Amino acid sequence: MRWNKFTIKTRSEAEDIVIATLTEIGIEGVEIEDKVPLSEADKKQMFVDILPDGPEDDGIAYLSFYLEEDADTESILANVRQELEDLRMFLDIGEGSIAASQTEDKDWINNWKEYFHQFYVDDILIIPSWEEVKEEDRDKMIIHIDPGTAFGTGMHETTQLCLRQLKKYVNGQTELLDVGTGSGILSIAALKLGAKHAIGTDLDPCAISAVRENLETNEVPEGAMQVLLGNIIDDQKVQDAVGYGKYDIVAANILAEVLVPLTPVIVNQLKPGGIYITSGIIDEKETVVVDAVKAAGLEVLEVTHQNDWVSVTARKNL
């Protein structure tokens, strides 16, 4: 079956209101194409340290929605056109034209799975739930990860750098704080390495459900990990909920731009002698993060590299 695709040409300043209007008449899942520069908040939630310069914003947005072939297309489009005309009475929506095309019927949610297969990080096997563990791998540490819409399959160099550092420092008494937990892969690895307890924080609501599913899949005992939604850098409630001076290890696989303001805050969560493991750092930003770590009073223990990516491990001295 094919889907009918309809694309509204409007102004980027009007896209939110147009989308809200479409939602009110029962159209959901609108695609947005525009050239609006990313905000700082957007950048902090993306796992890209250096973003390429985009094209100059021309003020135009293309909003696409899809209807099944057997839908009452004429009636729906008539409703959309009327709503767009009504919006013109108080808002400049630009051209407001609707272009029609067709697209193949695909399983958009699951098609990405063909690109994610089991792989190894040294002696750790990371495998999605839809693949079988080979007989020869059954004695390895196995982490089942289905990232869904949350970041973190373990394939990226920065996650692998963190995993290797966790292997060095986790023990049976470890209390771990995992900032920007994503799919929860670092916390799950730490718990499988013997950590006592883990707390993860993230800005993305998708991380909450992803972590819960991955904890269940990995048969992590109930209560071994908690996940909090919020920004630990500037949210006092999150800081208080996480607690102070109680973590043997804090792991933060984020971005250099986030690590710089995070580091002086996270010092308060670390125990004296606690280990701070950072990654998500492109090699050009290594010095920036090292300087921030030192400025926060931490001792740099090790800087490791994998391809163009860097991990900085430090300690809060007694």
Report the 10 Å Cβ neighbour count for 255: 25
Report the 10 Å Cβ neighbour count for 254: 23
Using a pLDDT cut of 90, give the percent of the chain over it: 51
Q: Is 46's pLDDT higher than 70?
A: no
Residue 199 has a pLDDT of: 97
**Position with higher pLDDT, 111 vs 173:** 173
Quote the CA–CA distance of 39 and 161 in Å, as a whole number.
Answer: 28
Give the list of residues 6+ apart from residue 111 with CB closer than 8 angstroms, or none.
Answer: none
Question: Which tens digit of pLDDT belongs to each residue from 172-205?
Answer: 999 999 999 988 999 999 999 999 999 999 988 8
Main-chain dihedrals φ then ψ at residue 179, nearest 5 degrees: -85, 125
Report the 10 Å Cβ neighbour count for 6: 19
